[in-house]
């Protein structure tokens, strides 16, 4: 026997090797959605409920079974994530649920572009598309999952599902009600679209609370804006934030530029990524965010000061210039 055989091995068996330390995230047990819901989201929700015929249309949406059709379509066309199917992603998902104190919904992966969404008011489920998983790193995917859980926690899911399928639903409702549904639906579509964009601001805050690090959230938004797998090493989140700050400062100088920004946003389901990044970065540095992490839930904030649309009487923050429902110029304060 050689002398070397008597020397104890210093190698650590692979299975016993220490894992790379994971960041410790604070579980936010009992966190109410009102603690982080964005004021513009709350105001837009109030406006939506005031639109004539909205409650009727919501009832018809449920009555006609659109939600169930949506669920059956998705579960038959994707992979359900679980302890023995894409286990790493399931662990990330479970951690987000625990941190945000959200009951576990179903999670599916489907072929598709760089996108994720949540559906199913009574039976919620989250869809991650394969393009997103290819582009994002693990922390960024976790931020996306927390963002979608934020929609569930804030009670957005029914309205989000309606926003995605409103056009064909209005056609069905119109035929079934001799055209009444189409008349009601036309006014609701614009209001629902405005609410849809503002609900994303609350879900972005949930993403930050889920990962408790602003960098993955900003990088996620940057990649949504223009990321590619080939050029990912050349992306710089700080430069993206500088762009976001310059975007707001530059376009706030002239009323005409603010109008053009309003018009550009009207056709979108989400605010521009640069706007979302700036808003989230500001909130990450706020006392409100720090207090939530320390377990001090703030009381629901009062609604922002508003002004009325002279045509439809919907309420808007003082900074808004035009009504999202009908485009009427709002009073200047």
Under the phi-then-psi rule, with left for phi > 0, alpha for psi from -120 to 50, and beta for the rest, what region is 235? Answer: beta
Contacts with 96 (C-beta within 8 Å, 6 or more apart), sequence order: 102, 142, 145, 146, 149, 210
Q: Give me the catalytic one of 148, 200, 275, 320.
A: 148
Active site residue 320: no
**Residue 250: C-alpha distances to residues 22, 46, 246, 330 (Å):** 40, 30, 6, 22
Distance, CA of 35 to chain centre: 16
End-to-end Cα, the chain, rounded Å: 92
210-226 burial, b for 16+ CB within 10 Å, e for fewer?
Answer: bbbebebbbbbbbbbbe
Per the structure block, which two tokens stand in for 266?
């009207």
Judge whether 322 and 329 are in contact, CB under 8 Å. yes
Which residues are designated catalytic? 148
């Amino acid at each position: 026997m050689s002398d070397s055989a008597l020397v104890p091995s210093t190698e650590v068996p692979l299975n016993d090797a220490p894992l790379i330390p994971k960041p410790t995230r604070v579980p936010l047990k009992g966190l109410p959605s009102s603690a982080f819901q964005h004021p513009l989201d709350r105001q837009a929700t109030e406006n939506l409920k005031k639109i004539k015929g909205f409650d009727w249309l919501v009832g018809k949406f449920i009555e006609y079974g659109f939600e169930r059709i949506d669920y059956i379509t998705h579960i038959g066309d994707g992979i359900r994530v679980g302890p023995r199917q894409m286990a790493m992603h399931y662990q990330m998902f479970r951690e987000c649920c625990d941190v945000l104190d959200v009951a576990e919904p179903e999670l599916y992966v489907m072929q598709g572009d760089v996108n994720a969404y949540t559906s199913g008011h009574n039976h919620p489920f989250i869809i991650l598309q394969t393009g997103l998983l290819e582009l994002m790193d693990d922390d960024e995917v976790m931020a996306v999952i927390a963002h979608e859980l934020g929609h569930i926690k804030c009670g957005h899911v029914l309205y989000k599902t309606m926003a995605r399928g409103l056009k064909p639903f209005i056609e069905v409702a119109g035929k079934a009600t001799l055209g009444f549904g189409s008349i009601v639906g036309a006014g609701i579509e614009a209001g629902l679209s405005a609410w849809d964009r503002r609900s994303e601001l609350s879900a972005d805050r949930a993403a930050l609370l889920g990962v408790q690090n602003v960098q993955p959230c900003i990088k996620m938004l940057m990649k949504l804006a223009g990321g590619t797998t080939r050029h990912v090493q050349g992306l710089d989140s700080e430069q993206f934030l500088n762009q976001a700050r310059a975007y707001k400062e530059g376009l706030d100088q002239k009323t005409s530029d603010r109008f053009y920004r309003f018009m550009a946003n009207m056709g979108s389901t989400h605010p521009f990524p640069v706007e979302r990044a700036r808003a989230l970065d500001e909130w990450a540095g706020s006392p409100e965010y720090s207090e939530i992490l320390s377990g001090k839930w703030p009381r629901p904030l009062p609604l922002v000061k508003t002004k009325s649309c002279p045509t439809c009487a919907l309420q808007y923050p003082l900074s808004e210039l035009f009504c999202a429902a009908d485009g009427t110029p709002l009073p200047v304060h």
